[in-house]
Chains A and B, each alone.
Chain A
Amino acid sequence: MVQFLRFATLRAALAFFTLCLVSFIVFSLMEMVPGDCAERYLAFKNSQGAMISIADIEFERVRLGLHKPFLQRWATWLFNAFQGEFGDSCILRLNINQLLGQKIWLSIGICLGSLVLAYAIAIPVGIIAATSRNPFLNNGLRLVSYLGLALPNFLLALMVMLFSTVVFGNSLTGLFSPEFRDAPWNTAKVLDFLGHVWLPVFILGWSATAFAIQTVRALLSDEIGKLYVTAAAARGVSGRRLLMRYPARHALSPIINSLGFDLNRIFNELPIVALILTLTEAGSLLIEALARSNDQQLAGAIIFFLTGCIIAINFITDIVLALVDPRIRRSILG
C-alpha cells in the first residue's frame, strides 16, 4: 500500500512536471510571436479609430507586467494557472475564466463522451470480431470499420447537417436551442443539451469507434493465439470462462494503454467538427483565438486545459494499469 502510494505520488509528480513543461512551451510560443499583448491590444484600438502613442504602449506594458523578465512572468502565469486563474484575454479584455466558463467542461465532456461511446461499442464488437468464424460477419465488420476510418469526421458532420436540413429542415447545429443558450442550468436545459450533444459525440465517436474496434480486435486476436490460452484449454477451461479470464483479461492492459492516445485523437478532431456544427465549445474558441484574433492569453489557457486533460487521462490509465496488471504492480512493489 505504501509502495503503491509512492508510485502514485511519483506518477503524479511526473504528470505535474510534464504539465509545467508543456506550459513552458506554450508560454514560450506565445512569447515568440512578434508584438506583445500591450502592442496588439492598442493596435486593435488604433484600428478602431483611437489615437495611440508609444508612451501609451509603455504604460500599458507596465500595467500588464510585461516589462518583467520572461521566466518570472512564466512562473507567475503558471502559479496562477494551477489555481485556475488565467488573467484576461488580450484582445477581448474579458476574464478568461468567464470567457471559457463552462465551455471547457463541455468540450471535455464531449470528448470523454465520445471515448466512452467508442469503447462501449468497440469492446463487445471487437470481441465478436476476434472470436467469430463467420466470414460474413467478419467482413461486414471490417467494411464498417474501414468506412469509419476512411470517412473524415468533418465530412460526416457536413453530411449529417445536409441530410437533416433537407429532411427535417433543421441543421442540428449548436449545443443549445437559442432560448436556453444563456439560461441557467435546469432540467429543461439539460434535456435540451442532451438533445443536441449526441450529434457531436456521435460524429467524434464515429472514427474513434472504428479505430477502437481495430485495436480491440487486433489485441484480442493476438492474445487468443498465445500458448497460455491453449494451455488453459488443455486443463479443461472452456467457453466464456476461457475467453474472458484468459485472452480478454490479458488484452485489457494494452487497451487501457491506448485510451490516452485515443482521447488525444479525439481532442485533435474536436475543433474542426465544432466549427462545422457551430458549437461554441473551447476548441472552436481556440481556433478563433489562434487564427483570427491571435489572442495568446486565451489560446494558452485553452491549450493548458487540453494538455492537462490528456496528462490527467494518462496518469489515470497508469494507475489503473498498475492495479489490473500484476507484472506492472510487482515491478512497482518490488
Chain B
Amino acid sequence: MSRLIDVENLTLQFDTDEGRITAVDDVSFSLDAGKIMGLVGESGSGKSVTAKSLMKLNPRNAVYGENTKITLHLDDGPVDVMSLQNDHEMKVVRGGSISLIFQEPMASFAPAISIGDQMIEQLLIHTSFSKSQAKEVSIEMLDRVGISDPSMRFSQYAFELSGGMRQRAMIAMALSTKPKLLIADEPTTALDVTIQAQVIDLMKDLVTEFGMGIIFITHDLGVIAQTADNVAVMYLGRLVEQGTVRDVIRSPAHPYTRGLLAALPTLDDIDAPLTPIPGDIPSPLERPSGCVYNTRCQEFIGPRCSAKVPVFSQIDAGHAAACHLYDRAGDAE
C-alpha cells in the first residue's frame, strides 16, 4: 500500500476575543491509499478543524504551529501543504486531490446556484473538460451515487432535494474530480438509519473502485466499526489512541476510548445501563495541564497525569495510546 498523506505535529490555534485557544494540539497520523481512517471524538474535540487544516481552509484567525507538516503524496511527487501560498497553488488540496464533504449537507450548497452549475464549476477549475463534458461527467456521477433521474436533479437547487439526496449530491460533487483523498465530516449524522447504511456502502464501494483514501469523521464508534480500517480517537484537540479498528474496539487502551465505548448503547441488551463519561468537556480556554483527559479520567493514577503530557506508547503492532498507564519510560522517572 502506498502512503497517501502524512500529518505531523499538526497544531492549530485560534485568535479570539477571549484569547488564543488551542483547537488541535500536536496531532500526527498517516493514511495509505485505499484505506479508510475513522476520526472519532466528542463534539468540540477538533475533528472538523483538523479536516479543514488538510486543505488549509481554516478562517483567518487560525494560527498553525510552526512544526506543523502535512505531506500529500501524489503520483507526480509529494506536496507540502503548509507551504502552499496562493489560491492557484492551493487548488490541488481544495477540490483537486482532496475533497471535503461537509458536516451539514444542507448548508454546503449555495442556495441560488443549481447543483449542476456548482458541479460544472468545480470540474472546470480542476480538469480540462469542456462545459458539455463536465455536464456529462456530473450527471454520470449523480447517477453513480444512486440519485434517480440525475439529469433532472442536475438542474435543480439544493432546497429542492431531500436531505439524503443532498448528501448524495454532495458526495457526487466531491468525487467528480476523482480526488485521492476524501474527507467525510460526519457524512451520515444528518441521515436516517437506512440512508446512512446506503451512504456507508457507497463510500466503501468508491474506495475499492477509485482506490482513494478516506478520512471518515464521526462521533459514532458504531459507524466506525462498520466502515473504517484504522481509527484515531481525539479528545480536546489531541489524539489519545490510534490503531486498527479491530484492536481499538475490541481492546481499547485509553480510558477515554473505553469511556466512549461504554457509552454506546447495545441492541443485544437494551436493559443494560448506559454509562456516559462523567464530567463535562473542559472549555477550550481552560485546557487541563498534563494529560488533557485527566479531569474526567476514571483511571487517574496520580500527579503525573495532571503534570506531564503523555506520549504515545505502543500497545501492539499498529496500536498505540497516549496514556501514563502505558508509559514505561515515565515510570522510571
Known: A227-B102, A234-B102, A238-B87. A327 touches B95 (CB 8 A): no
When the two chains form their complex, are residues B112 and A326 in contact, meaning their CB atoms are under 8 A apart?
yes
Given A228-B111, A327-B111: A235 touches B121 (CB 8 Å cut-off):
yes
Q: How far is the CB of B214 from chain A (nearest CB, A)?
A: 16
Confirm or deny: A230 has a beta carbon within 8 angstroms of a beta carbon on chain B.
yes
Complex partner residue of B107 from A228, A233, A253, CB under 8 angstroms: A228
Residue contact B94 to A234, C-beta cutoff 8 Å = yes
A-B pairs under 8 A by CB, number:
83
Chain A residues in 8 Å Cβ range of B110: 228-229, 231-232, 245-246, 249-250
B13 to chain A, nearest CB (A): 18
**Cα A310 to Cα B88 with chains together (Å):** 47
Contact A227 B94 (CB under 8 A): no
Q: How large is the interface on A (under 10, 10 to 19, 20 to 34, 35 or more residues)?
A: 20 to 34
Tell me if B173 counts as interface (CB < 8 A to partner A): yes
Provide the bound-state CA to CA distance between A229 and B102, in Å: 12
Q: How far is the CA of A176 from the CA of B79 in the complex (A)?
A: 70
Interface-centre pick from A229, A233, A235, A324 (highest chain B CB count, 10 A): A235
A73 interface residue (CB < 8 Å to B):
no
Chain A window 197-239, contacts with chain B (Cβ cutoff 8 Å), 1 for yes, 0 for no? 0000000000000000000000000000011111111111111
Whether B95 pairs with A236 at a CB distance below 8 angstroms is: yes
Whether, in the assembled complex, A325 has its beta carbon less than 8 Å from a beta carbon of chain B, the answer is yes
Asked whether, in the complex, the Cβ of A234 is within 8 Å of the Cβ of B157, the reply is: no
Name A238's closest neighbour in chain B (CB-CB): B87
| Interchain CA distance A236-B95 in the complex, whole Å | 5
Contact between chains at B113 and A245 (CB < 8 Å): yes
Contact indicator B160/A330 (Cβ below 8 Å):
yes
Please state if B100 and A236 are interface contacts (CB–CB under 8 Å).
no
Interface check B108, CB cutoff 8 A: yes
Q: Among the listed A231, A246, A253, which residue makes an inter-chain contact with B102, where contact means beta carbons less than 8 Å apart? A: A231
Given contacts A327-B157, A330-B160, contact A234 B100 (CB under 8 A): yes
Select A234's contact among B57, B88, B107, B109, beta carbons within 8 Å: B57
Q: How large is the interface on B (under 10, 10 to 19, 20 to 34, 35 or more residues)?
A: 20 to 34
Given contacts A133-B60, A230-B57, A327-B159, contact A235 B95 (CB under 8 A): yes
Once the chains are docked, how many angstroms separate the CA of A119 from the CA of B251? 65
Shortest CB distance A25–B (Å): 37
Complex: A226 Cα to B59 Cα, angstroms: 12
For A226, the chain B residues whose CB sits under 8 A away are: 107
CB pair B104 A239 closer than 8 Å: no
What residues of chain A lie closer than 8 Å to B100, measured between beta carbons? 231, 234
| A228 and B125 within 8 A (CB) | no
* Across-interface contacts of B99 in A (CB, < 8 A): 234-235
Give chain A residues whose Cβ lies under 8 Å from the Cβ of B111. Answer: 228, 250, 326-327
Q: For residue B112, which residues in chain A have a CB less than 8 angstroms away from its CB?
A: 249-250, 253, 324-327
B247 to chain A, nearest CB (A): 32
With both chains docked as a complex, state the minimum distance between the C-beta of B269 and any C-beta of chain A, in angstroms.
Answer: 39
Residues of chain B contacted by A235 (CB below 8 angstroms): 94-95, 99, 118, 121-122, 125, 173
Interface residues in A79-129 by Cβ distance below 8 A to B read none
Q: A132 to chain B: closest CB distance in Å?
A: 12
Q: Can you show 19 pairs from A to B with CB atoms below 8 A apart?
A: A133-B60, A231-B109, A231-B110, A232-B110, A232-B118, A233-B94, A235-B99, A236-B95, A236-B122, A236-B126, A238-B87, A238-B91, A238-B94, A245-B110, A246-B110, A249-B110, A249-B113, A250-B110, A327-B112
Residues of A near any B CB (own CB < 8 A): 133, 226-239, 245-246, 249-250, 253, 324-327, 330
List of 10 A-B pairs having minimum Cβ-Cβ separation, nearest first: A238-B87, A236-B95, A235-B95, A231-B108, A227-B107, A235-B122, A228-B110, A236-B94, A236-B125, A236-B91
Apart from A227-B107, A228-B111, 19 more pairs, CB < 8 Å = A228-B109, A230-B57, A231-B108, A231-B110, A232-B118, A235-B99, A235-B121, A236-B91, A236-B122, A237-B125, A238-B90, A238-B91, A238-B94, A245-B113, A246-B113, A253-B112, A326-B111, A326-B114, A327-B112
